[in-house]
Chains A and B, each alone.
Chain A
Amino acid sequence: MDLVRGTLDVLILKSLVWGPLHGYAITDLIRRQTDEALLVEEGTLYPALWRLETKGLLESEWGISDNNRKAKYYRLTTEGKRRLREETRYWEAYAAAVAKMLGATRPPLAEEK
C-alpha cells in the first residue's frame, strides 16, 4: 500500500517515540509495526528526516549501530513531541470521519429548514 501524501512525517515522528533510531531502523520499524501494510520508499525517507531536522522537530547525532557501524541517530525534540500529539489527534479525527462516511448505509436525514 502506498502512503497517503503527508503521512510520512507523522509516521517518522511516531517511530521515534520509543527512543533514538537511525534511518534504516525507522523503515524497518514502520514496516513491521504496520504488519508490512505500509512500505516506506527508502529514497523518500532521508529527505523527510532532514526536513524534519531543519524544522527543529528532530535532532541527530552520530552513534554506533548494532552491526557496529557509524550511523546517524535521530531523536524527537520537545517541539517534535508536541507536533506528534497534534498530528495524532488530527489523524484520528480524520480517519473517524472518513470511516463514518464510507461505513454509511443510508443517506442522512433531511435537515430542518
Chain B
Amino acid sequence: MMKRIPAWRRYARIFGADPRADVDDELEFHIETRVEELVAQGWDPASARRQAESQFGDLAAIRQAGEELHGRRRRTLERRDWWSGYLHDVRYTLRCMRRATTFTIAVVLTLGLGTGAIATVFTLANTLFFRRLPVDRPEQVAMVQATKERGRMPGWVSYPEYVHFRDHTRSFAGLAAHYSNAPLFTTIRNQSREVTGAVVSANFFPLLGLQPALGRFFRDDEDAVPDRDRVAVLGYDAWSKWFGRSPEVLGAPLRINGATFTIVGVAPEAFRGITIQPDDVYLPTMMSRAAFTWCADSLAVDCRPFYMIGRLANGRTAAEAEAEMSTLLPTWWTGQDGGNSAIRVLPARGVFHPDLSRSEERRFVELLAAVAATLLLVCCANLAGLLMSRNMARKREFAIRSSLGAGNARLMRQLATESMVLALGGGLAGLLLSRGLTAALNALFYSADRSGRPIYYNFAPEPRVLFAVAAVSMLAGLLAGVIPAWRTLERSGAASLKQPRIGRWLAGAQAAAAVALAAIAGVLAVSAQALLTASHFDAAHVALLRIRPRAAHYTPERAQQFVRAAIQRLEALPAVESATMVGTGAVLVGNNAQAALPEWIGTRSIHCTYLRIGPRYFETLRTPVLRGREFDQRDNLQSPAVALVSESLARTLWPGGAAIGALVEVNGRPHQVVGIAADVTLQNRTEAQRPYVYTPYWQNAAQVETQLAVRVKGDPAAMLPEIVREVGRGDPDVPIGNTVTLAADMAAGISSERITGAFLSFAAGLSVVLAGIGLYGVLAYSMSHRTREIGIRMAVGATAAGVRRMVVREGMAVVLTGVAAGVGLSLGGAREVRHLLYGSGAGDAAIYAAAAVLVAAVGLLACWIPARRAAAIEPMSALREQ
C-alpha cells in the first residue's frame, strides 16, 4: 500500500523542516486525489477541482492551524535537541575532569572557600531575617508591637490594653499576649535555679496551631481569674533535662518564685518560644503576678509587661491589620509623655527582635556580605588565572575540535558548561564548608547570651539559602570562566601575548584585596582588644552576678540588709580584693539620666549614662577618681544627696573647674558633687564621649535588682562558684543569676564586632594565600613559555642572578602595584567599619604597614620559586627544545 520514499528524498528537508510546505503538500495530495476520482467518474477537470475544494471546507483556516501545530512541535524538538547537546557537554566535561584531578580539586576548593563564606552569610541572614516560626501556617502569624517616640522605640502593653485590642480587632483571627524571657526562680525536685519562662494567654498555643507533646495546654477558664489557677506547661527541653521525658511529669509540682504550680502539659519539641531564649516554663497570664515583679500588680492597666502576637484573618495583610489596629489605640495613650503612641504589625519572620528597624543587625550582615563578596571575587580572579593557563594548555584539543567542525559558539558553550559544572561542584563544597563555619559561629556566638544563659538560633539550611548559594556559585563560575574562554577563542597570535598581561592584572587585584582584608581585620582585632583594655577601667579579675531579693518578695529594707550582708561576707573572703554593687543597669554600662544645673531651671539638660553605685566601685573597676572622693558607707538615706561626675561632664557643666561642692540635678533632684571620675571610653569611633553621673546605691530606697561586682586576686571565672555560694548563704530563695566575668560580659557585648573580626581574619588569611598562589601561577606559566627567550638571554651572557632579578622584578612590579592599591582600599574600607572600632586608632598606620609588608613578602616568595627555576635553565637544552 505504502511505497517507501527513496532514501535520499527523506533527507530533502534535513536542513530545517518547513512546516508550511509540509502542510501544503499534504493537503494538496488530498485534493488532487479527490479530483482524480471525480474525473474518473466523468467530471471535467475544472469543475472537479472546484467540487473537491468546496467539499474540503475552509482550506485557508485549516492550513494556518496546521502550520501553527507543526511549528510548535518543531520548536519542542529543537529544544530537546539543545538540551541533549548540553547533556553531552556535561558528560564530556566530567570525563575531562576525571583526567585532570588536581586541577579539578584546586578549582572546586578555591570556589568552595569563596562560596562557603557567602553561604554562611546567607544562612545567618536567613535565620535573622527570613525564617518562619515553627508553627502552623506561619505566614499568617504577625507580631503586634506597641511603639513609643514616633515609632522609634518599642513599647509593651498592659493586660487590659491587650484585652482591648483582642476584643476589638477584626483583622486578626486571634490575638495572644506573651511576656517572654521572664527570669523565673524555680525549685524542681529540691533543686533551685533561675530559668527562663514565658507568661502567655490561654489562646497562645491554639493560635499558633501547636499540639502538646504530652498532656494539654491551658484551658480558657484557667486564664480567667487572677492568681487562682497555678498551672504550668513545660518546654520540651526542660522536660528532657529535668524529668528525663517521663510521662509522670503531668501533675508534678513546680515551685516558681515561691508559689507551687502543677505541670499540665509539655510543649512540642520544635517550638522553643517566640524569642531566641528558649522558654523552659509557660504560665497563664492570670498568674503573671508570680512572674513579673517589677510592678506591684502586673495585671494593672499601667503595668506593661506584654507583647502581642496574632494570627491574621484569612486574606488580611499585615499592613491592613496595622491600619485597623491604629484606629483602636486606647484613649489614654494619646498625650502621655514618653509612653506608647502607636502600633505596628510585622510579619513574624526571622528571630523576634524588639528593635524595630534592626538597622544595626542589618548593617552587620551587610558588612559580612561585603567581606564574603570580596573573598569570592578574589577566588574568581584566582580561578580565572587558573582556567586561562589550563585553556592555553588545551589549545591542541580546541584546534582538533574546531577542525572537526565545532564552531566558536559551540566551543564557547563547551567552556561555559565546564565552568558551570565546576561552579556547581564549588557550590557544593561551599555548602559543606558553610556547615562547618555556621556550626563554629553558632558555638562561639549564638548559643549563649551575655550572661551565659542558653539561646537558640536555628541555622538549619532552607531551600531559599540553597537556591541563593547555587545561584551565586553559578555566577562566580561564569565570572571566572568568561574571560579565559573568550581569550582562548581569540585565534589571533596576539592572544597568547595578551594572556599573561590579563593574568597579571588579576594577580595584582588579588594582592590589593588581600592587603585590604588583612589590614581591616588587623584594625578590628586591635580595636576589640582596645575596648577590653580601654583607658580608665580594668576588666580583668572582676566577677559579676545579679541578685533579685525583691523577686523573693523582700521589702526594700530587707533587700538592702541582704545586699549589705552579702558584700560584707564577700569582702571577708581572702581571695577577694574588693566588692561593690550597681543598682538597675549594668556595671560600666548603666542607665540613662538627665543631668542639669539648678540655674537652668528645667530649660535644658544633658543626656548622661547614670549608675547608682556602692562604695569602692571605682576601686573595684580601677577607674581613677581624679578629684574629691569616692562614695562610702556614710552616704546613705540619712545623709545629704551626693553625686560624682565624669571628667567630660564636669568640663561641660563647670568650665571654670569649680565642680566639687557644686549642685547638679540628676533627673530633677539636686545632688552635691563630691568627686570627679575619669572618663570611661566605651564609645566607638563614630560616637562622642558619653558623660557619666554617679549617685550612691545606699541613697536609693527602692532598688529592684542589684548587680554585684567583685575584684578577685586570681581567675574570676574560677572564683564565681565560691562567690555565688557565699551570696546564697544569706537566703537560698533569693534568685542569683547572670554570673559571668566582666571581661566575658564585655566581649559578648561586642559580639558583632568579634564576628566581623573573625570573619575578616578568615577572609584575609585565605586571600593572602590565594594571592600568593595566583601570582605564582601567572609567573610560572609565563616562564614556561619563555624558556627559549631566557635560554637566548643566557646564551648571550645574562647571568643566573640577572635572570632571577628580572623575573622577581616583573613579579614584584605586579605585587607592589597591588599592595599600593590595597592600602588605598583599606583606608576606604576602614571608614565603613568605624562604627565597630574602639579606641583612638593611633596604632592603625602600623597595622596597614604590616598588612602591606605581609602581602609583599608572600608575593616575593611567590616570585622567588619561578625565578629560581628560570635561572636554572640550561641555555643549550632550552634552545634545542624547539
Contact = CB atoms under 8 A, between A and B. Distances in A.
Interface in A1-45: 19-24, 41-44
A46 interface: yes
A81 to B, nearest CB: 18
B56 A42 contact: yes
Interface string B1-38: 11111000110000000000010011101101110100
Chain A interface SS verdict (over half): mixed
Contact of B26 (A21, A23, A51, A66): A23
A24 B34 contact: yes
Interface string A58-96: 000111111101111100000000000000000000000
B626 interface: no
A65 B33 contact: yes
Size class of A's contact patch? Answer: 20 to 34
Nearest to A53: B73
Size class of B's contact patch? Answer: 20 to 34
Interface of B: 1-5, 9-10, 22, 25-27, 29-30, 32-34, 36, 55-59, 62, 65-66, 69-70, 72-73
The 5 closest A-B pairs by CB, nearest first: A43-B57, A64-B3, A63-B2, A50-B69, A72-B26
B25 A72 contact: yes
A47 interface: yes
Contacts of A43: 56-59, 62
Contacts of B27: 46
A64 B66 contact: no
Nearest to A45: B30
Contacts of A72: 22, 25-26, 29
Nearest to A69: B29
A13 B32 CA distance: 24
Contact of A23 (B2, B4, B30, B32): B30
A54 interface: yes
Contact of A50 (B4, B10, B55, B66): B66
Given A43-B62, A47-B66, A50-B70, A73 B57 contact: no
Nearest to B27: A46
A61 B26 CA distance: 11
B20 to A, nearest CB: 13
A41 B29 contact: no
A60 B30 CA distance: 15
Given A23-B30, A46-B26, A62-B9, 8 more contacts: A19-B1, A22-B30, A42-B30, A43-B56, A44-B57, A46-B30, A50-B70, A64-B2
B36 to A, nearest CB: 6
B57 A42 contact: yes
Contacts of A20: 1-2
A15 B544 CA distance: 94
Contacts of B36: 67
Given A43-B58, A46-B26, A54 B66 contact: no
B3 A47 contact: no
A24 B33 contact: yes
19 contacts: A20-B2, A24-B30, A24-B33, A42-B56, A43-B58, A44-B57, A47-B62, A47-B66, A62-B5, A62-B9, A63-B3, A63-B4, A64-B4, A65-B2, A65-B33, A67-B33, A70-B5, A70-B25, A72-B26
A3 B5 CA distance: 34
B2 A47 contact: no
Contacts of B10: 62
A54 to B, nearest CB: 5
B5 A64 contact: yes
Contact of A46 (B62, B72, B73): B62
**Most-contacted residue by chain A among B1, B27, B70, B72 (CB, 10 A):** B1
A5 B259 CA distance: 80
Contacts of A53: 73
B65 to A, nearest CB: 5
A24 B1 CA distance: 13
B29 A65 contact: yes
B72 A54 contact: yes
Contact of B2 (A44, A46, A51, A73): A73
A42 B29 contact: no
B562 to A, nearest CB: 83
Contacts of B30: 22-24, 42, 46
A71 B4 CA distance: 11
Nearest to B58: A43
**Most-contacted residue by chain B among A54, A62, A67 (CB, 10 A):** A62
Contacts of B33: 24, 65, 67, 69
A24 B52 CA distance: 12
Nearest to B26: A72
Nearest to B59: A43
A63 B29 contact: no
Contact of B69 (A23, A51, A65): A51
A37 B4 CA distance: 33
**Most-contacted residue by chain A among B3, B33, B65, B69 (CB, 10 A):** B33
Contacts of A42: 30, 55-57
**Most-contacted residue by chain A among B2, B22, B26, B30 (CB, 10 A):** B2
A84 to B, nearest CB: 20
